[in-house]
Amino acid sequence: MPAPETSPPLFDVAVVGGGLVGTAIAWGLARQGQRVAVLDEGDVAIRPSRGNFALVWLQSKGLGMPAYAAWTKHSTDLWTGLAAELREETGIDVAYERRGGFQLALSEAEVAARAAMQRRLHSQPDMVVYPYEMLDHDAVARMLPAIGPEVAGGSYCPLDGHCNSLRLLRALHTGMQRRGARYLPEHRVEHIDPQAGGFRLRHQKGELHAGKLVLASGIGNARLAPMVGLAAPVRPQRGQIVVTERLRPFLPYPVATIRQTDDGTVLLGDSQEEAGLDDSVGSEVTAVIADRAVRMFPRLAQANVVRSWAALRVMTPDGFPIYDESQTAPGAFLATCHSGVTLAASHALALAPMLAGGSLPAQMRAFTARRFDVPPTA
Amino acid sequence: MSKTAALNPSCQLVVIGAGPAGLAAATTAAKLGVDTVLLDEQPAPGGQIYRAITETPVTKRSILGMDYWHGAELVTAFRSSGARHVPGTTVWSVTREGEIGFSVGGAARLIEAERIILATGAQERPFPIPGWTLPGVMTAGAAQILLKASGMVAEGRVVLAGTGPLLWLLAAQYLRAGGRIVTVLDTTPPANRRAALPYLPNFLGSDYLGAGIALLREVKARVPVIGDVRSLRLLGENRVREVVYQSGTAPERRIGADLVLLHQGVVPNLNLANAIGCRQEWHEDQLCFVPVIDAWGTSSIERVAIAGDGAGIAGARIAAERGRLAALEAAHRLGRIDAYRRDAEAVAPRRAITRFDKGRRFIDLMYRPRAEHRVPQGDTLACRCEEITAQQIVEAVKLGSTGPNQMKSLLRCGMGPCQGRLCGLTITELIASARGVSPADVGYFRLRPPIKPITLAELASLPKSEAAVQAVVRG
Amino acid sequence: MFRRLPEPAVAPVSITIDGMPVEAREGDSVAAALLAAGHARCRSSSVSDAPRGPYCMMGVCFDCLVEIDGAANRQACMVRVAPGMRVATQDGRRELRA
């Protein structure tokens, strides 16, 4: 029997994490002909992929990092193809719609803040160019007739859209497995040893060997990254969401904090709270969410709330993603972001081929975690 | 509504549910000087077992039976206890910090409580068979509620199907009320007798024995009862028309039906406890999850106690005693009585529990429902709200979904308005069966408030802090 | 499907179901009134339009959803009848009115 160190890896790539980031990359890798294993935790785990808002969203992203705006736009451009391919392959309709989307303001002050933010965003050097506009109440009302009198205006970007993210998760799971990827739930990774020709992953049920490694385990990356010479300075940020019963269609475009799903339910979001790993919900925040939703669309007042939830976003210090490769353990990569839905197409169709090729090209350098290495101040 | 307007924003003890456990708990606590509020969803006290006890139009006492009328004593004691009763109240949230969100008459309110006793009782076990969502298919418990609250009995071709004491009780009550039943299809697996046999001696010494035997005789004397019923299916287009079944190894049979009343036992109503985060564990005899509690009913969340059938099925008499125990502990922790007095006052309830618990194990094992009626197959709906079939669940297990929470994300099962009340156990058992593991290893849905729907207007009316506004509003 | 026991008279309550006058009794839930009036089906589901009716009568199953005085998706088994109440069976998903 050969020693484990010299046995050839069973898998070309081990992806750690079975959420939207991990499965999008795994599907993309399998699509490149790679033999992929996806190691995941069990039924009870920190899973933002089960709690997200499902926007495929561009506007307002990238202030402070134009490369992120470009990467996001690239993803939204690839999304139509992703949705079509998943449907073709799995029969699952992820209900992607790209008709444009709004962010609404409930006062002139909110309109002004929004306009100023957009100006700063789009005047950055190297900012990707895409259409967007600020609209007043009447212009918004022409497209969203159900708005209430308190809506002072809003921003609109025709490239924004949304999907059914639960079906996206199922389609990626289905698709990657149809393409031969092995999905391994209840395989929490405890330790990773880089070794000649690959990696040895010790998990709750044993060991697994793979030539390359992709860390895509959200908050879990903070623990795993240092084992392969990487850094993942991520923290959980709580977001609470409220959802209504199924309703007949009344909202033809998604709004950044309100969208009607293809099932008819209306999602109302969302908060940004620093609460550690506490993912409980509370009426103080959901009351604000409900209040703003009713002011934006007064007819929602009658709708029944059937559930609320909180999920934990995976936040970096600057809020932008990290894509990195290890200098000390070649073949180890890291991917983490809080926009697993929007970036799913980039991850599957752009990032995965890079990872299959074995290294990240120069254009991805902006996303390295080394950007957080601040020299000691005097 | 004036009752709630007069409610203080905080109190020492809130009891949720006005069945036997809640009534006894509130009575005991209030009599010990604890500032007690009883919130209940129904307009009148009694819970489901003593439903409409103060106002039922069924005045002939023999119809509903003496076990029902026992509830009147609990209500009388409660009325003179000094506890405040807020009926018609839907509790939709309880936090670990003791904040209770509830709605009365379409208006949402919050109340803070130092301690909370959940007395949310039981619900009927799901009975997921083909056709179980057709109009004209109801539960035996539903029929009993119609009898107690509105004096209504079924007419036409009425078929009862299932297993468990409530099925026989309803049959007897219907017959006493002059109702007619075409047949009772008894789905109790004959093998249960063997499993229950070792516990027969205890049952023989229990209070259930005499009543139980009399009930069975009463029904069997007047209604054809078909035993060892399996492969139960209900057919119809816009409503149920036919029941298809097999008895033992006999060929399939069909009978016409206008109303089918199903029942295969009751299970704890755990939604509120689950949403608060109280730990729960699988109970193999009773085939359901029960909360983890100590000898006083205190849950894994120190502030919250659980009493009555919501803490595990034990029947109405034990429910009331468990309510008393939880109230004694609450009074003690609130500084109203010392530990000596608490323990002294607990002697009688504990003795009663021992007495009434005697036949329980026998009943649990004797009436354990058949696996095929708990774990559906093919295109039978497991989740009624989202219309998710058994086959879809099994396929998602193959995809790697190991538990109900991932299942919920993949299929939406449990995401409808009932919040998994009528599919939770089915989904867990389906996953367990597909994976070949115990439901204990599969676990249950993690539930979130509101555990009952409230309108957005109600939610929007609640207090909002500046920090909460800051957390939501962005540039 | 159901009949009332010939018990001492309980006060009648006049309501309408889908516009038709119906005499319910004091203490009835809306679901009881529907069943007493012969309505086994009270809605079609919001997923597949399948027919549904009251099932549990205790607020658990959410299958007895109806429109009561203009508000849709209310649990008929949890609301008591009141004089003049307008009850309507419903089809599919609820429509939010402006």
What pLDDT score does C10 carry?
A: 87
3-class state of residue A323 by DSSP:
strand
pLDDT band at A4 (very low <50, low <70, confident <90, very high): very low
Percent residues over pLDDT 90 in chain A: 95
Residues A258 and A118 in one domain: no
What is the average pLDDT across A338-358? 97
State the chains in contact with C (3 or more Cβ–Cβ pairs under 8 Å): A, B
- Say if the Cβ atoms of A305 and B405 lie within 8 Å: no
List the structure tokens of C64: 């007895």
Q: Which residue among A290, A315, A340 closes a domain?
A: A315
Q: Which residue has the higher pLDDT, A378 or B445?
A: B445
Chain C within 8 Å of B343 (Cβ-Cβ)?
A: no
What pLDDT score does B207 carry?
A: 76
Please check whether residue A154 lies inside any domain of the structure. Answer: yes
What pLDDT score does B4 carry?
A: 61
List the structure tokens of B184: 């009772």
- CATH number, residue A274: 3.30.9.10
Distance from CA of A229 to the nearest CA of B (A): 31
Residue type, A325: E
The number of domains in chain A is: 3
Residues A243 and A307 in one domain: yes
What pLDDT score does A378 carry?
A: 45
Q: Are B416 and A306 in contact (CB under 8 A)?
A: yes
pLDDT tens digits, one per residue of A291-311: 999 999 999 999 999 999 999
Chain A within 8 Å of C47 (Cβ-Cβ)?
A: yes
Q: Are B74 and B50 in contact (CB under 8 A)?
A: yes
Q: Which chain B residue has the Cα nearest residue A302?
A: B455
Chain C within 8 Å of B386 (Cβ-Cβ)?
A: yes
- Say if the Cβ atoms of C57 and B142 lie within 8 Å: yes
- For residue B314, which of B102, B40, B122 has the smallest C-alpha distance? B122
pLDDT digits (tens), chain B, 475 positions: 445 667 889 999 999 999 999 999 999 999 999 999 999 999 999 999 999 999 999 989 999 999 999 999 999 999 999 999 999 999 999 999 999 999 999 999 999 999 999 999 999 999 999 999 999 999 999 999 999 999 999 999 999 999 999 999 999 999 999 999 999 999 999 999 999 999 988 888 887 778 888 899 999 999 999 999 999 999 999 999 999 999 999 999 999 999 999 999 999 999 999 999 999 999 999 999 999 999 999 999 999 999 999 999 999 999 999 999 999 999 999 999 999 999 999 999 999 999 999 989 999 999 999 999 999 999 999 999 999 999 999 999 999 999 999 999 999 999 999 999 999 999 999 999 999 999 999 999 999 999 999 999 999 999 999 999 999 987 5
Please check whether residue A91 lies inside any domain of the structure. Answer: no
Residues A229 and A239 in one domain: no
Chain C within 8 Å of B426 (Cβ-Cβ)?
A: no
Q: DSSP states of C2-56 as a string?
A: EEE--PSP--EEEEEETTEEEEEETT-BHHHHHHHTT----EE-TTT--EE---S
Q: Is the pLDDT of residue A375 over 90?
A: no
What pLDDT score does B238 carry?
A: 95
Residues A219 and A323 in one domain: yes
Provide ipTM, 2 decimals. Answer: 0.98
- Say if the Cβ atoms of B422 and C54 lie within 8 Å: no
Measured in degrees and rounded to the nearest 5, phi and psi for residue A148 equal -95, 170
Residues A328 and A225 in one domain: yes
Q: Which residues pair with C20 in a beta bridge?
A: C17
- Say if the Cβ atoms of B457 and A302 lie within 8 Å: yes
Distance from CA of B137 to the nearest CA of A (A): 24
Please give the Cα distance from A342 to A344 (Å, whole number): 6
- CATH number, residue A180: 3.50.50.60
* Cβ-based neighbours of A13, under 8 Å, separated by 6 or more: A26, A29, A34, A35, A36, A37, A210, A211, A212, A213, A214, A355, A356
Out of C73, C92, C97, the one facing A299 most closely (by C-beta) is C97
Specify the DSSP class assigned to residue A348: I
* Cβ-based neighbours of A332, under 8 Å, separated by 6 or more: A192, A194, A199, A212, A213, A215, A228, A229, A230, A325, A326
pLDDT band at A377 (very low <50, low <70, confident <90, very high): low
Give the CATH fold of the C12-91 domain.
Answer: Ubiquitin-like (UB roll) (3.10.20)
Q: Which residue among A112, A128, A158 closes a domain?
A: A158
What is the average pLDDT across A152-167? 98
pLDDT tens digits, one per residue of B57-89: 998 999 999 999 999 999 999 999 999 999 999
Residues A249 and A287 in one domain: yes
Please check whether residue A207 lies inside any domain of the structure. Answer: yes
Q: Give the Cα-Cα-Cα angle B332, B334, B338 (nearest 5 degrees).
A: 30
Residues A173 and A195 in one domain: yes
Range of the domain at A259: 235-315
What pLDDT score does A2 carry?
A: 41
pLDDT tens digits, one per residue of A192-236: 999 989 999 999 999 999 999 999 999 999 999 999 999 999 999
* Cβ-based neighbours of B173, under 8 Å, separated by 6 or more: B63, B64, B65, B144, B147
What is the pLDDT of chain A when averaged over all its residues?
A: 95
Residues A257 and A311 in one domain: yes
pLDDT band at A9 (very low <50, low <70, confident <90, very high): low
Instruction: Provide the residue ranges of all domains of chain C, joining segments of one domain with +.
Output: 12-91
Chain B residues 264-303 with a CB less than 8 Å from chain C: 269
- Say if the Cβ atoms of A245 and C92 lie within 8 Å: no
What is the pLDDT of chain C when averaged over all its residues?
A: 96
Please check whether residue A269 lies inside any domain of the structure. Answer: yes
* pTM for the whole structure: 0.96
pLDDT tens digits, one per residue of A319-334: 999 999 999 999 999 9
pLDDT band at A7 (very low <50, low <70, confident <90, very high): low
Chain C residues near any Cβ of chain B (below 8 Å): 1-5, 7-8, 10, 25, 27-29, 32, 35-36, 40-42, 45, 47-48, 50-63, 65, 73, 77-78, 80
Specify the DSSP class assigned to residue B46: S
pLDDT tens digits, one per residue of C31-82: 999 999 999 999 999 999 999 999 999 999 999 999 999 999 999 999 999 9
Distance from CA of B279 to the nearest CA of A (A): 14
Please give the Cα distance from B441 to B428 (Å, whole number): 9
Please check whether residue A126 lies inside any domain of the structure. Answer: yes
Q: Which chain B residue has the Cα nearest residue A304?
A: B455
